Amino acid sequence: MTSALFSPIELRGLTLPNRVIVAPMCQYSACMGRATDWHVIHLGYLAQSGSGMLIVEASGVEPRGRITHRCLGLYDDASETALNRVIRIVRQWSNTPIAIQLGHAGRKASAHPPQDGGKPLDVDEGAWETIAPSAIPFANDWHRPVEMDRALMDEVVGAHVDAVQRAERIGFEAIEMHGAHGYLMSEFLSPIANQRKDEFGGCIANRIRYPIEVFEAMREAWPQEKPMGVRFNGTDWDDRGMTLEDAIFFGKALKAVGCDFFDISGGGNSLRRPSVGPGYQAPYAAAIKEATGVPTMAVGMIRDPSLAEELISSNKCDMVALARGFLYEPRWTWRAAHELGEAVTYPEQYIRSNPLLWPQAFPGMDEDEVHRHGWVAGAAPHIMVPDKPK
Protein backbone atom coordinates (compact mmCIF):
# COMPACT_ATOMS: atom_id res chain seq x y z
CA MET A 1 0.00 0.00 0.00
CA THR A 2 1.19 3.52 -0.73
CA SER A 3 -1.29 5.64 1.24
CA ALA A 4 0.02 6.98 4.54
CA LEU A 5 -3.55 7.27 5.86
CA PHE A 6 -4.09 3.55 5.35
CA SER A 7 -0.80 2.37 6.79
CA PRO A 8 -0.87 0.64 10.19
CA ILE A 9 0.37 2.23 13.40
CA GLU A 10 1.48 0.61 16.65
CA LEU A 11 0.48 2.00 20.03
CA ARG A 12 2.16 -0.19 22.65
CA GLY A 13 0.77 -3.69 22.08
CA LEU A 14 -2.09 -2.50 19.88
CA THR A 15 -1.75 -2.25 16.09
CA LEU A 16 -4.31 -0.08 14.32
CA PRO A 17 -4.90 -1.13 10.70
CA ASN A 18 -5.07 2.49 9.53
CA ARG A 19 -4.82 6.06 10.82
CA VAL A 20 -8.55 6.97 10.70
CA ILE A 21 -10.04 7.40 14.18
CA VAL A 22 -13.73 7.70 15.05
CA ALA A 23 -13.60 10.48 17.64
CA PRO A 24 -15.59 10.32 20.90
CA MET A 25 -18.96 12.02 20.46
CA CYS A 26 -21.41 12.75 23.28
CA GLN A 27 -24.80 11.26 22.42
CA TYR A 28 -26.83 12.48 25.43
CA SER A 29 -28.74 9.21 25.26
CA ALA A 30 -27.78 7.46 28.50
CA CYS A 31 -30.13 6.78 31.41
CA MET A 32 -28.61 7.43 34.85
CA GLY A 33 -25.18 7.11 33.26
CA ARG A 34 -26.05 3.76 31.69
CA ALA A 35 -25.66 2.98 28.01
CA THR A 36 -28.90 2.24 26.17
CA ASP A 37 -29.98 0.57 22.94
CA TRP A 38 -29.11 3.80 21.14
CA HIS A 39 -25.46 3.09 21.93
CA VAL A 40 -25.80 -0.36 20.35
CA ILE A 41 -27.06 1.28 17.15
CA HIS A 42 -24.62 4.20 17.21
CA LEU A 43 -21.44 2.31 18.08
CA GLY A 44 -22.39 -0.78 16.11
CA TYR A 45 -22.84 1.28 12.98
CA LEU A 46 -19.58 3.17 13.39
CA ALA A 47 -17.69 -0.03 14.17
CA GLN A 48 -18.48 -1.17 10.62
CA SER A 49 -16.71 1.82 9.07
CA GLY A 50 -13.34 0.12 8.53
CA SER A 51 -11.62 2.71 10.71
CA GLY A 52 -8.45 2.15 12.69
CA MET A 53 -10.07 2.73 16.08
CA LEU A 54 -13.42 3.75 17.54
CA ILE A 55 -13.41 5.84 20.72
CA VAL A 56 -16.54 5.71 22.89
CA GLU A 57 -17.89 9.07 24.00
CA ALA A 58 -16.71 10.93 27.12
CA SER A 59 -17.82 8.84 30.09
CA GLY A 60 -18.05 10.43 33.51
CA VAL A 61 -15.92 8.80 36.19
CA GLU A 62 -18.47 9.82 38.83
CA PRO A 63 -22.09 11.05 38.64
CA ARG A 64 -21.19 14.69 39.29
CA GLY A 65 -18.61 14.45 36.52
CA ARG A 66 -21.26 14.05 33.82
CA ILE A 67 -22.02 17.06 31.66
CA THR A 68 -25.75 16.32 31.66
CA HIS A 69 -28.24 13.88 33.17
CA ARG A 70 -28.14 12.03 29.85
CA CYS A 71 -24.37 11.58 29.61
CA LEU A 72 -22.65 8.21 29.74
CA GLY A 73 -20.89 7.17 32.92
CA LEU A 74 -18.59 4.39 34.06
CA TYR A 75 -18.73 4.64 37.83
CA ASP A 76 -20.81 1.81 39.29
CA ASP A 77 -21.80 -1.77 38.58
CA ALA A 78 -24.96 -0.76 36.73
CA SER A 79 -23.14 1.54 34.31
CA GLU A 80 -20.41 -1.05 33.81
CA THR A 81 -22.93 -3.80 33.08
CA ALA A 82 -24.87 -1.65 30.61
CA LEU A 83 -21.76 -0.62 28.68
CA ASN A 84 -20.37 -4.14 28.74
CA ARG A 85 -23.57 -5.33 27.04
CA VAL A 86 -23.16 -2.76 24.26
CA ILE A 87 -19.51 -3.56 23.62
CA ARG A 88 -20.20 -7.31 23.69
CA ILE A 89 -22.87 -6.94 21.00
CA VAL A 90 -20.71 -4.67 18.82
CA ARG A 91 -17.75 -7.03 19.09
CA GLN A 92 -19.80 -9.93 17.73
CA TRP A 93 -19.81 -8.19 14.36
CA SER A 94 -16.70 -6.02 14.27
CA ASN A 95 -12.97 -6.37 14.86
CA THR A 96 -12.40 -2.62 15.07
CA PRO A 97 -10.32 -1.73 18.16
CA ILE A 98 -12.50 0.11 20.66
CA ALA A 99 -11.26 2.70 23.16
CA ILE A 100 -13.10 4.80 25.71
CA GLN A 101 -12.65 8.42 26.72
CA LEU A 102 -12.82 8.89 30.49
CA GLY A 103 -13.38 12.32 31.95
CA HIS A 104 -14.94 14.69 34.44
CA ALA A 105 -16.90 17.78 33.44
CA GLY A 106 -15.86 19.89 36.46
CA ARG A 107 -17.48 23.33 36.48
CA LYS A 108 -19.24 22.62 33.16
CA ALA A 109 -21.28 19.76 34.63
CA SER A 110 -24.95 19.91 35.63
CA ALA A 111 -26.13 21.30 32.31
CA HIS A 112 -28.76 20.72 29.65
CA PRO A 113 -27.74 18.87 26.47
CA PRO A 114 -26.82 21.19 23.57
CA GLN A 115 -30.03 20.37 21.72
CA ASP A 116 -31.92 21.71 24.76
CA GLY A 117 -29.89 24.90 24.95
CA GLY A 118 -26.84 23.71 26.87
CA LYS A 119 -27.47 26.06 29.79
CA PRO A 120 -26.91 25.06 33.44
CA LEU A 121 -29.67 23.16 35.20
CA ASP A 122 -31.90 24.83 37.76
CA VAL A 123 -32.47 23.23 41.15
CA ASP A 124 -35.94 22.05 40.15
CA GLU A 125 -34.40 20.43 37.06
CA GLY A 126 -32.09 18.25 39.13
CA ALA A 127 -28.98 20.43 39.27
CA TRP A 128 -26.09 19.11 41.32
CA GLU A 129 -23.05 20.65 42.99
CA THR A 130 -20.08 21.11 40.67
CA ILE A 131 -16.37 21.16 41.48
CA ALA A 132 -13.38 22.90 39.89
CA PRO A 133 -9.80 23.99 40.63
CA SER A 134 -11.12 27.45 41.59
CA ALA A 135 -14.56 28.70 42.62
CA ILE A 136 -15.05 30.52 39.31
CA PRO A 137 -18.20 29.92 37.22
CA PHE A 138 -17.77 29.07 33.54
CA ALA A 139 -19.88 32.12 32.66
CA ASN A 140 -22.01 34.66 34.49
CA ASP A 141 -25.15 32.53 34.44
CA TRP A 142 -23.43 29.27 35.43
CA HIS A 143 -23.15 27.55 38.80
CA ARG A 144 -20.36 28.62 41.10
CA PRO A 145 -18.30 25.47 41.63
CA VAL A 146 -16.76 24.30 44.87
CA GLU A 147 -13.00 24.80 44.89
CA MET A 148 -11.40 21.39 45.23
CA ASP A 149 -9.43 20.69 48.38
CA ARG A 150 -7.04 17.78 48.74
CA ALA A 151 -9.82 15.44 49.87
CA LEU A 152 -11.90 16.19 46.76
CA MET A 153 -8.84 15.85 44.55
CA ASP A 154 -8.17 12.42 46.02
CA GLU A 155 -11.80 11.41 45.43
CA VAL A 156 -11.53 12.32 41.77
CA VAL A 157 -8.23 10.48 41.35
CA GLY A 158 -9.86 7.40 42.88
CA ALA A 159 -12.86 7.74 40.58
CA HIS A 160 -10.60 7.79 37.51
CA VAL A 161 -8.76 4.68 38.71
CA ASP A 162 -12.05 2.88 39.38
CA ALA A 163 -13.27 3.73 35.87
CA VAL A 164 -10.01 2.42 34.39
CA GLN A 165 -10.49 -0.87 36.20
CA ARG A 166 -14.04 -1.12 34.91
CA ALA A 167 -12.84 -0.35 31.37
CA GLU A 168 -10.35 -3.21 31.64
CA ARG A 169 -13.06 -5.63 32.79
CA ILE A 170 -15.20 -4.63 29.81
CA GLY A 171 -12.23 -5.27 27.53
CA PHE A 172 -11.49 -1.91 25.93
CA GLU A 173 -8.24 -1.88 23.96
CA ALA A 174 -7.26 1.70 24.81
CA ILE A 175 -8.19 4.64 27.05
CA GLU A 176 -8.14 8.37 26.38
CA MET A 177 -8.15 10.73 29.36
CA HIS A 178 -10.22 13.82 28.60
CA GLY A 179 -8.06 16.88 29.25
CA ALA A 180 -9.63 19.28 26.75
CA HIS A 181 -12.65 21.50 26.11
CA GLY A 182 -12.81 23.22 29.48
CA TYR A 183 -13.68 20.15 31.51
CA LEU A 184 -11.98 19.37 34.82
CA MET A 185 -8.47 18.41 33.70
CA SER A 186 -8.55 21.23 31.14
CA GLU A 187 -9.66 23.61 33.89
CA PHE A 188 -6.55 22.79 35.93
CA LEU A 189 -4.39 23.41 32.85
CA SER A 190 -5.94 26.79 31.99
CA PRO A 191 -5.24 30.05 33.85
CA ILE A 192 -8.78 31.10 32.92
CA ALA A 193 -10.29 28.48 35.24
CA ASN A 194 -7.34 27.78 37.53
CA GLN A 195 -6.47 30.72 39.77
CA ARG A 196 -5.21 28.72 42.72
CA LYS A 197 -2.47 30.09 44.95
CA ASP A 198 -1.07 26.70 45.97
CA GLU A 199 1.25 24.27 44.19
CA PHE A 200 -1.49 23.43 41.66
CA GLY A 201 -1.91 26.97 40.33
CA GLY A 202 0.14 29.76 38.79
CA CYS A 203 2.87 28.74 36.34
CA ILE A 204 2.33 25.95 33.83
CA ALA A 205 4.62 23.62 35.82
CA ASN A 206 2.14 23.90 38.70
CA ARG A 207 -1.01 23.79 36.57
CA ILE A 208 -0.06 20.43 35.05
CA ARG A 209 0.56 18.79 38.46
CA TYR A 210 -2.94 17.48 39.04
CA PRO A 211 -3.65 16.25 35.49
CA ILE A 212 -0.29 14.44 35.55
CA GLU A 213 -1.15 12.95 38.95
CA VAL A 214 -4.47 11.67 37.60
CA PHE A 215 -2.86 10.27 34.46
CA GLU A 216 -0.15 8.47 36.42
CA ALA A 217 -2.74 6.83 38.67
CA MET A 218 -4.76 5.75 35.63
CA ARG A 219 -1.69 4.44 33.82
CA GLU A 220 -0.66 2.36 36.83
CA ALA A 221 -4.11 0.75 36.92
CA TRP A 222 -4.15 -0.02 33.18
CA PRO A 223 -2.38 -3.07 31.67
CA GLN A 224 1.11 -2.21 30.49
CA GLU A 225 0.53 -3.66 27.02
CA LYS A 226 -2.50 -1.43 26.38
CA PRO A 227 -2.13 2.19 25.21
CA MET A 228 -3.41 5.21 27.09
CA GLY A 229 -3.55 8.69 25.63
CA VAL A 230 -4.83 12.17 26.43
CA ARG A 231 -6.99 14.65 24.57
CA PHE A 232 -5.89 18.17 25.45
CA ASN A 233 -6.04 21.67 24.06
CA GLY A 234 -3.33 23.05 21.84
CA THR A 235 -4.87 26.44 22.64
CA ASP A 236 -7.79 27.87 24.60
CA TRP A 237 -8.51 30.22 21.66
CA ASP A 238 -8.36 32.96 24.29
CA ASP A 239 -5.37 35.19 25.09
CA ARG A 240 -6.04 34.69 28.81
CA GLY A 241 -5.78 30.92 28.53
CA MET A 242 -3.57 27.99 27.64
CA THR A 243 -0.99 28.65 24.95
CA LEU A 244 0.74 26.36 22.49
CA GLU A 245 3.89 26.63 24.60
CA ASP A 246 1.87 25.45 27.63
CA ALA A 247 0.51 22.55 25.61
CA ILE A 248 4.00 21.48 24.52
CA PHE A 249 5.19 21.64 28.14
CA PHE A 250 2.26 19.41 29.17
CA GLY A 251 2.90 17.04 26.29
CA LYS A 252 6.53 16.56 27.29
CA ALA A 253 5.47 15.85 30.87
CA LEU A 254 2.91 13.30 29.68
CA LYS A 255 5.52 11.59 27.54
CA ALA A 256 7.76 11.24 30.59
CA VAL A 257 5.04 9.34 32.50
CA GLY A 258 4.15 6.92 29.72
CA CYS A 259 1.49 8.59 27.59
CA ASP A 260 1.17 6.78 24.25
CA PHE A 261 -0.75 9.26 22.08
CA PHE A 262 -2.13 12.78 22.04
CA ASP A 263 -5.47 13.94 20.64
CA ILE A 264 -5.11 17.69 20.12
CA SER A 265 -8.15 19.94 20.16
CA GLY A 266 -8.86 23.43 21.50
CA GLY A 267 -11.19 25.80 23.30
CA GLY A 268 -13.90 25.34 25.90
CA ASN A 269 -12.50 27.27 28.86
CA SER A 270 -14.31 30.42 27.78
CA LEU A 271 -17.05 31.42 25.37
CA ARG A 272 -14.56 32.58 22.73
CA ARG A 273 -14.54 30.61 19.49
CA PRO A 274 -12.17 30.64 16.51
CA SER A 275 -13.05 30.94 12.86
CA VAL A 276 -13.09 27.42 11.50
CA GLY A 277 -12.14 25.72 8.26
CA PRO A 278 -10.78 22.37 7.04
CA GLY A 279 -7.97 21.21 9.32
CA TYR A 280 -8.06 24.41 11.38
CA GLN A 281 -6.69 22.69 14.51
CA ALA A 282 -4.08 20.57 12.73
CA PRO A 283 -1.21 23.10 13.14
CA TYR A 284 -1.39 22.62 16.91
CA ALA A 285 -1.16 18.86 16.54
CA ALA A 286 1.80 19.29 14.18
CA ALA A 287 3.68 21.57 16.58
CA ILE A 288 3.12 19.28 19.58
CA LYS A 289 4.09 16.18 17.60
CA GLU A 290 7.29 17.86 16.40
CA ALA A 291 8.22 18.97 19.91
CA THR A 292 7.50 15.67 21.67
CA GLY A 293 7.74 12.88 19.11
CA VAL A 294 4.56 11.32 20.56
CA PRO A 295 2.01 9.88 18.08
CA THR A 296 -0.58 12.60 17.65
CA MET A 297 -4.13 12.89 16.28
CA ALA A 298 -5.32 15.96 14.41
CA VAL A 299 -8.97 17.01 14.53
CA GLY A 300 -11.17 19.74 13.12
CA MET A 301 -13.23 19.53 9.93
CA ILE A 302 -11.00 16.96 8.25
CA ARG A 303 -13.64 15.86 5.77
CA ASP A 304 -11.57 15.60 2.59
CA PRO A 305 -9.61 12.32 2.24
CA SER A 306 -6.87 14.14 0.35
CA LEU A 307 -6.44 16.54 3.30
CA ALA A 308 -6.25 13.61 5.71
CA GLU A 309 -3.68 11.93 3.49
CA GLU A 310 -1.59 15.11 3.23
CA LEU A 311 -1.58 15.61 7.01
CA ILE A 312 -0.29 12.08 7.59
CA SER A 313 2.12 11.86 4.64
CA SER A 314 3.74 15.21 5.49
CA ASN A 315 4.29 14.04 9.08
CA LYS A 316 2.08 16.77 10.56
CA CYS A 317 0.23 14.15 12.56
CA ASP A 318 0.03 10.37 12.90
CA MET A 319 -3.75 9.94 12.93
CA VAL A 320 -6.84 11.95 12.02
CA ALA A 321 -9.98 11.88 14.17
CA LEU A 322 -13.39 12.69 12.72
CA ALA A 323 -16.54 13.33 14.74
CA ARG A 324 -19.39 15.14 12.99
CA GLY A 325 -17.94 13.94 9.70
CA PHE A 326 -18.74 10.38 10.75
CA LEU A 327 -22.23 11.28 11.94
CA TYR A 328 -22.93 12.69 8.49
CA GLU A 329 -21.06 9.98 6.58
CA PRO A 330 -20.62 6.84 8.73
CA ARG A 331 -18.69 5.10 5.94
CA TRP A 332 -16.22 7.93 5.43
CA THR A 333 -13.32 5.49 5.72
CA TRP A 334 -14.70 3.42 2.83
CA ARG A 335 -14.90 6.52 0.63
CA ALA A 336 -11.41 7.62 1.63
CA ALA A 337 -9.98 4.18 0.81
CA HIS A 338 -11.74 4.11 -2.56
CA GLU A 339 -10.54 7.60 -3.50
CA LEU A 340 -6.98 6.84 -2.39
CA GLY A 341 -6.96 3.38 -4.01
CA GLU A 342 -6.34 1.54 -0.74
CA ALA A 343 -7.63 -1.47 1.18
CA VAL A 344 -10.22 -1.28 3.92
CA THR A 345 -12.32 -3.83 5.77
CA TYR A 346 -15.95 -4.39 4.77
CA PRO A 347 -18.35 -6.69 6.66
CA GLU A 348 -19.24 -9.49 4.28
CA GLN A 349 -22.92 -8.47 4.43
CA TYR A 350 -22.00 -5.10 2.87
CA ILE A 351 -19.09 -6.07 0.66
CA ARG A 352 -21.00 -5.75 -2.61
CA SER A 353 -21.46 -2.03 -1.85
CA ASN A 354 -17.79 -1.42 -2.69
CA PRO A 355 -17.74 0.45 -6.02
CA LEU A 356 -15.03 -1.91 -7.24
CA LEU A 357 -17.59 -4.71 -7.16
CA TRP A 358 -20.36 -2.90 -8.98
CA PRO A 359 -21.04 -4.59 -12.35
CA GLN A 360 -20.02 -1.49 -14.29
CA ALA A 361 -16.56 -1.84 -12.77
CA PHE A 362 -16.14 -4.99 -14.86
CA PRO A 363 -17.14 -4.24 -18.47
CA GLY A 364 -18.80 -7.19 -20.12
CA MET A 365 -19.73 -8.94 -16.85
CA ASP A 366 -23.10 -8.85 -15.17
CA GLU A 367 -23.40 -9.02 -11.39
CA ASP A 368 -23.80 -12.80 -11.32
CA GLU A 369 -20.61 -13.26 -13.35
CA VAL A 370 -18.70 -10.94 -10.99
CA HIS A 371 -19.84 -13.05 -8.06
CA ARG A 372 -19.04 -16.34 -9.83
CA HIS A 373 -15.48 -15.16 -10.34
CA GLY A 374 -15.06 -14.93 -6.58
CA TRP A 375 -14.74 -11.19 -6.24
CA VAL A 376 -16.94 -11.20 -3.11
CA ALA A 377 -14.69 -13.66 -1.27
CA GLY A 378 -12.01 -11.12 -0.46
CA ALA A 379 -9.93 -11.76 -3.56
CA ALA A 380 -10.73 -8.49 -5.29
CA PRO A 381 -8.12 -5.73 -5.13
CA HIS A 382 -8.65 -3.23 -2.29
CA ILE A 383 -11.15 -5.49 -0.49
CA MET A 384 -10.65 -7.06 2.91
CA VAL A 385 -13.17 -9.19 4.80
CA PRO A 386 -12.94 -9.39 8.59
CA ASP A 387 -12.87 -12.62 10.53
CA LYS A 388 -16.18 -14.35 11.01
CA PRO A 389 -18.23 -13.03 13.96
CA LYS A 390 -17.18 -14.64 17.19
Nearest to 264 by CA among 225, 226, 290: 290
Q: What is the pTM of this model?
A: 0.93
Where in the chain are all domains bearing CATH 3.20.20.70?
9-345
The whole-number pLDDT of residue 369 equals: 59
Instruction: Measure Cα distances from 187 to 232, 244, 279, 355 in Å.
Output: 11, 16, 25, 47
Detail the DSSP E strand segments found in the chain: 9-11, 14-16, 20-22, 53-60, 98-103, 131-132, 146-147, 174-179, 228-235, 261-266, 296-298, 319-322, 344-345, 383-384
Identify whether the C-beta of residue 233 lies closer than 8 Å to the C-beta of residue 186.
yes
Alpha-carbon separation of residue 70 from 333, 334, 357 (angstroms): 29, 31, 42
Residue 104 near residue 130, CB atoms below 8 Å:
no
* Angstrom distances, CA of residue 48 to CA of 58, 136, 333: 21, 43, 10
The DSSP bridge pattern shows strands 9-11 and 14-16 to be antiparallel
Structure confidence by residue, pLDDT tens digits, 155-195: 999 999 999 999 999 999 999 999 999 999 999 999 999 99
Q: According to the model, what pLDDT value does residue 373 have?
A: 47
Contact 323, 303 (CB under 8 A): no
Q: Would you call 328 a catalytic residue per the annotation? A: no
How far is Cα 384 from Cα 18, in angstroms, rounded to an integer?
13
Q: Which of 75, 183, 210, 284 is catalytic?
A: 183
DSSP state at residue 34: B
Average pLDDT along the chain, 390 residues, taken 10 residues at a time: 92 98 98 98 96 98 98 98 98 96 98 97 97 97 97 98 98 98 98 98 98 98 98 97 98 98 97 93 98 98 97 98 96 95 88 80 61 45 49
Smallest CA-to-CA distance from 51 within 265, 323, 349 is with: 323
Residue 146 near residue 198 (C-beta atoms within 8 A): no
Q: Which of these CATH numbers, 3.90.1150.10, 3.40.50.720, 3.30.70.20, 3.20.20.70, describes 9-345?
A: 3.20.20.70
The residues, any chain, with a CB within 8 Å of residue 225's CB and separated by 6 or more, are 12, 13, 14
pLDDT value at residue 120: 98
